[in-house]
Structure 1
Amino acid sequence: MNPEQCYSIINPQFKPFKHQRECWRLIQEEGAGFCLSSGTGSGKTESVGIPAIFLDKRLVMVYPTRSLIEDQVSRFEKYCMTLVEAKKVLSKTVAYDTGDMQYGKQIKSFEGKPSLERIKGRLRFRQRYQPGKIQIIGAGQKKRVDVNDIVPEIENIINSLPGFIIEVVYGQKRINVIPKEKRQIITETTKKHLYGADIILTTLDMFLYRFFGYGERKWNLLFPYRLYMGTQARKQLVICFDEAHLYDEVSFTNFMNLVGTFVGADIKVVVMSATLPKPLLDMLEKRYDLEVVNGMELSGEKSFRVIKSNNRKNEIVGLVKKSLEERIIIVRNTVKQAFGTYQKLKSISKNSLYLYHGRMFPKIRTRHYESLKKKDEKSEPYILVTTNAIEVGCDLNSTLLITDYCNPDQLLQRMGRCARKKDTKGKCILLGTNFQTDDSFLRLPEAYNYQTYQKLITAGDFTADEIRATITPHLRREELTDALFQFHYSYVYEFDVMRSELHDSGILATRSWTPSFKVFWVKEQTAFDTIEKFVGTKSVEEILKDILLHNRTPLRIPIDYCILHESEEAIDWKKVKMLPVTDSSSPVGYNRQTTINPYQTELYLFLFDNTFPNHNPKLGLIRLPHFFTVKRRGLITTLQASKRYFINSEWDRKIRYLDISKKSLSVL
């Protein structure tokens, strides 16, 4: 089939654009790969995803952040379901891998009773280590049945339905039967995927861990084999780095090393973004022979103006009151600013008001995004207050965008959420012509030409290319990260046993040398007593099952976010507890040393806070817990906290880590 026929199967109204047909050709033919530089809303994901699915490639989509994966996974599952439904393939498998959450979902056609018998056989096999009845949800009821009775129970439900999707979740021993017109599909979800899927969605952090054989005790080397070592696997593999403009310093060093490694191994590489700087495009083209594909600007007509205001919050309220029948996106530079604006707007609109930021629980974020998408498709009004979490990957089409003054690449991404579709109209309003005191940390004079940028936005008449020209990326490698990558590579792929001790240590910087907390929000303060009681007798994984949590998937917070500022009072130690762990699956894996090495230790933070502004966990973590004192000496940063902030600690404890921050950069 040609590209036009394949795209029409996914959507009968879909005709591929010129850049999408060019991407199809480059994926189909031999070659190092390509860079796709195309505007927001121009179908970059479809440019790679649809050819890979139809050409039977194994596609790895690597994203800078977890929130981006949450927004994309349903899209790929929908494509695969459409393909299976059209009988073009027997099955497709999509894997989701962020470390804290991973699963593989196989999507295949329903073949009558034999399909149900296969499911029964797999569930019976699992009964040996996961005994108990199976929960069946469908036809408005829930039942727990013996594994031998699931076939007639499911048949009773589907016999009355014209179409359905049978969802089997093996880890939870649950089967959902969902009515769907004209569909007869089975999806089977397992926790382990081991990179055996057709489409893998992951982050740069997790991708590096898998590439170097971390993550699974028994099956570590399956990841490198399926990614890189297997000759046949290389031919079918396409590795796509989406939103590549977001990489800097440590992550940029790892990104460039991965691109060079894969191109050298004849694995096809794709680099995508709407705001790829020209110097980076030139370097990727000349150094790695990646062909540059320039896409189209397919968005609608936008007007742009700047409002100078000393009270941005009140200015936003005034603008919103005049536009309640529009689809409004308000982008603030910090979570605190976004929450304040959200609180201010609650009296204006409750039913259609949303808050969306990076410190919300993933399930809540996904729920909000899906609700917004439905309103978007029906052209219903809404008000979304958000942060830079909405800048990339979110396919929303607002009619009014209000944004804080921000950096050039951020402005392009934010404007891409307004009049996103062709033949639509929208208004973009920029508040201010400089950063405020509490978001001044965003100002990076070495990365942007602010003088030219401010002239362009003040005039209000500019092109995307003119804004991109004000971005001056620092294409530099961070030396220590670079060396660490090469050492790990030599051990895993060149069998250099001299590096075994380093690899066994697990030290690997992915995005930053600043470590992070796994944050769990507990429902009751008594949860701290439960944790203290079982430390040393149960693993962290077992303890988490015994305490009431608002979030089963942890939030990730850099530990330097918890540093105590001058003249600030530390959070009450009764509201927060830390737990350093070297092995979360072992009861003896707790780190009891006075000075903690965070590169060999997982840092858990358990939070109990029901006071404003953290009074509603559904709104996310608004106020961060501050309790660390800090000392900096050269490249070493030391954080110290009282023993009262630690679980079962007899001493005050220190966390010592590297603070590279541009001190050891070398020009490429």
Structure 2
Amino acid sequence: MFMDVNSAYKNIAGFDTPNPMQTAVWQAITEDNDMGIGLLLKGLTGSGKTEAVAIPAINENRRLIMVYPTRSLVDDQIMRFEKLLTNYSCHNKGQLVTLTVDTGAQSMRYCYRNGKTEPTPGGERSTRHLYTGNVIITTLDKFIYRFFGFGEPLKSYIFPLRIRYMNPIICFDEAHSYDEIAFINFERLVKTLYQNGKDIVLMTATMPMQYLKRFHDLDVFDFASGQGARAMADWKTYPHPGKHLYHIPASIERLEDAPSEAIERIIAETRQRYQFDKRMIVTIESVKDAAYVYTQLRDEFRDNIWLYHGRLTQARRKEVYAKLKEQEGKENGRYLLISTSAIEVGCDLDAHILISQLCDPDRLIQRAGRCNRKQAIPDASIVVVGDNIPEWATALTEQQPKYLQELQAQNGKLFNPEPLVPLMEKELVSDPRVEIMFDMLHEYVYDARLENKNLHENGLVITRSWEPSIILCQGEDENGLLCEAITVPISYCRTPKDEQPITLLLGTDGGGLQKRVFNKDERRFENKTVGKWENGYKADLLFDFGTQGYEDYDPKLGYVNLPFLFEGPIPAGAKKFMRRQEEAHEAKIWYIDPENVTIKANEIVGETAVTANKKDVA
């Protein structure tokens, strides 16, 4: 049963009426258009961009693929789409509607009929759906993996088939959040899909001009500034639309292992400004500093304080986020959340107070969107602490002095993000190796160019970095799922000078450095010993602490201090390698040096040379 725009928003989303942005997107998606859909939707955080695309797609019974930059953001969206699909099924009696969550090594399917959740045929982990269903939510990395048909050989070809021929709407949320190689793949993917007739929507709140220019073929719907923003402001009057900004300069310099003045000031501001019946978010740039702030405050705030960062296990992140949402659902819900940037992108939280370590302007705007998100909190405030941004955490160069001046100009006043937008800096990089590999894979999968077969058979696609990652875990459960697992870049586990790599005790069950490969005969993943000279791109690397466990791991703190596992990285011509010695066995894991002058792809995959000169990459 197809509904008109007002009925659809009321019955599916529970909104009284759609806002001007949602009405405009509804018309773009539902009207007959021989040219297809190609939208770049700009809207402020909390303005309803997700519903703007989801409601017309669900109502028109179009398959919607929602692509997000991170797994944590996918976790955040599950409850949101469950509500939409449950409501939709209430008004379409007898129709089965489904939600697929496709991340990492797991793909989950949920079914709804007549306003209720139904058991999934074959179980939630059944892979029979293979990209069928009403809504699919996934990450960019996993979508690229599916787009090129990687995975179990007997089934993986079905994903490209259904992406190409079953006419989905493919929506990329937080489109501004990709950098370097990730942006190269993102741009290449969007343009390839659009040029091949796929319906595409990009959604963003803070996309810098350098990125906007790369998508000039798309129709821009701008409701974040200018006339569009005024239309949104005129549409509805909110009781408390603003929040005050306070900037406190404080040094970020460390003295040996002591925390910086900025971190100590953040702790002091948290104690001073926290109120028992309010919600507060504190964002810190590094995991180590965030864990320090949490440990300094947890005895005072007891059951009301939570820690959230990227080195917590996925299960713990989901648990923490569920607790936060539970508090937000209460009339006087309260929490104190200590987080890194892992929480800033797209998560639907609504705090009274945000305290943030100084960060780049685009990230500050994103974090500000978690404060007074629904514009109903009186006296909401943002406190920015710091006189500089850590070099590893910023893209700013020339604009940083102007940025600090603007924060001081707004000190004590209502926060206005518009002057910050021109100060955003994003460095666009070019890597012909990544671009050529993307094109070769596309030609093989979609045009049957057999000369590129070897690249595909080796399972190689560089999605974010030339540096491979490693999974840290502590055994497996009875279903073969990894316990207490996280994934980090392999260099994060290098051993500093004057330290020794961690060793496992003799007799530790199931421990050590391994690689996770797919057994084609038994159709399951299994762990094998890493070779003496191992290609870091051909298999998932894994370090299992086994029954010994990792003494620095705490379930609530996560992997704050990562283990020392490798010596390196050690240069070796066009490559780098990480070395690990375990008893009598030596393992060397090599990967391409991204800064090398000349790289040949046949060193990676065995055939088909791809050469990039340094001047072409710069």
TMscore range, shorter length: 0.7 to 0.9
Aligned length: 560
Counterpart code for 1:603: L
Q: 2:615, 2:106 → 1: CA distance? A: 33
Q: 2:419, 2:474 → 1: CA distance? A: 45
The corresponding residue for 1:396 is 349
The corresponding residue for 2:388 is 434
The corresponding residue for 1:101 is 106
- 1:304–1:643: structure 2 CA closer, same or farther, 3 Å change rule? same
Counterpart of 1:24 in 2: which secondary structure?
helix
Q: 2:480, 2:186 → 1: CA distance? A: 39
Residue of 341, 349, 352 corresponding to 2:304: 352
The corresponding residue for 2:577 is 638
Matches within 5 A, 1:455-466: 455-460=405-410, 463-466=416-419
Does the 8 A contact of 2:470 with 2:489 survive in 1? yes
The corresponding residue for 1:124 is none
1:317, CA displacement in angstroms? 3.2
1:100, CA displacement in angstroms? 1.6
Q: 1:348, 1:661 → 2: CA distance? A: 48
Q: 2:199, 2:264 → 1: CA distance? A: 50
Q: Is the aligned partner of 1:290 residue 2:219?
A: yes
Q: Is the aligned partner of 1:362 residue 2:327?
A: no
- 1:634–1:256: structure 2 CA closer, same or farther, 3 Å change rule? farther
Counterpart code for 2:282: I
The corresponding residue for 2:601 is none
Matches within 5 A, 1:191-230: 191-228=127-164, 230=165
Q: 2:41, 2:312 → 1: CA distance? A: 31
Q: 2:478, 2:419 → 1: CA distance? A: 53
Q: 1:547, 1:55 → 2: CA distance? A: 40
Q: 2:545, 2:63 → 1: CA distance? A: 40
Identical counterparts, % of pairs: 31
Q: 1:265, 1:367 → 2: CA distance? A: 40
Q: Is the aligned partner of 1:486 residue 2:439?
A: yes
1:665, CA displacement in angstroms? 7.9
Matches within 5 A, 1:156-175: 165=116, 167-168=118-119
Q: Which runs of 5+ in 1 are unaligned?
A: 111-164, 173-187, 523-542, 645-649
Does the 8 A contact of 2:515 with 2:541 survive in 1? yes
- 1:568–1:469: structure 2 CA closer, same or farther, 3 Å change rule? farther
Residue of 182, 188, 199 corresponding to 1:251: 182
Counterpart code for 2:402: T
The corresponding residue for 2:208 is 277
1:169, CA displacement in angstroms? 5.1
1:496, CA displacement in angstroms? 0.9
- 1:259–1:470: structure 2 CA closer, same or farther, 3 Å change rule? same
1:383, CA displacement in angstroms? 0.4
Counterpart code for 2:427: H
- 1:11–1:79: structure 2 CA closer, same or farther, 3 Å change rule? closer
1:422, CA displacement in angstroms? 2.1
Normalising by structure 1, report the TM-score: 0.79
Query: Over residues 149-194 of structure 1, what are the superposed CA-to-partner deviations in whole Å (9 max), with x where a residue is unaligned?
Result: xxxxxxxxxxxxxxxx56525556xxxxxxxxxxxxxxx7634431
The corresponding residue for 1:128 is none
The corresponding residue for 2:244 is 303
Counterpart of 2:315 in 1: which secondary structure?
helix
Residue of 2, 14, 17 corresponding to 1:15: 17
Residue of 469, 478, 487 corresponding to 1:545: 478
1:57, CA displacement in angstroms? 1.1
Counterpart code for 2:382: C
Q: Is the aligned partner of 1:621 residue 2:543?
A: no
Q: 1:505, 1:12 → 2: CA distance? A: 48
Counterpart of 1:424 in 2: which secondary structure?
coil
Q: 1:586, 1:84 → 2: CA distance? A: 35
Q: 1:357, 1:581 → 2: CA distance? A: 25
Counterpart of 1:8 in 2: which secondary structure?
helix
Q: Which runs of 5+ in 2 are unaligned?
A: 234-239, 252-260, 598-613
Residue of 471, 495, 507 corresponding to 2:460: 507
- CA RMSD, aligned part only? 2.6
Q: Is the aligned partner of 1:4 residue 2:20?
A: no
Residue of 28, 38, 45 corresponding to 2:43: 38
Matches within 5 A, 1:7-156: 7-29=9-31, 30=33, 31-87=36-92, 90-109=95-114
Q: 1:388, 1:665 → 2: CA distance? A: 33
1:101, CA displacement in angstroms? 1.5
Counterpart of 1:392 in 2: which secondary structure?
coil
The corresponding residue for 1:317 is 267
Q: 1:586, 1:102 → 2: CA distance? A: 15
Query: Over residues 245-265 of structure 1, what are the superposed CA-to-partner deviations in whole Å (9 max), with x where a residue is unaligned?
Result: 111121111111111111112
The corresponding residue for 2:328 is 376
The corresponding residue for 2:394 is 443
Query: Over residues 402-427 of structure 1, what are the superposed CA-to-partner deviations in whole Å (9 max), with x where a residue is unaligned?
Result: 11111111111111111111232311
Counterpart of 2:182 in 1: which secondary structure?
helix
- 1:597–1:549: structure 2 CA closer, same or farther, 3 Å change rule? closer
Counterpart of 1:397 in 2: which secondary structure?
coil
Q: 1:252, 1:549 → 2: CA distance? A: 30
- 1:366–1:42: structure 2 CA closer, same or farther, 3 Å change rule? same
Does the 8 A contact of 1:329 with 1:398 survive in 2? yes
Q: 1:32, 1:547 → 2: CA distance? A: 42
Q: 2:117, 2:423 → 1: CA distance? A: 51
Does the 8 A contact of 2:62 with 2:134 survive in 1? yes
Q: 1:667, 1:106 → 2: CA distance? A: 47
Q: Is the aligned partner of 1:340 residue 2:269?
A: no
Counterpart code for 2:559: L
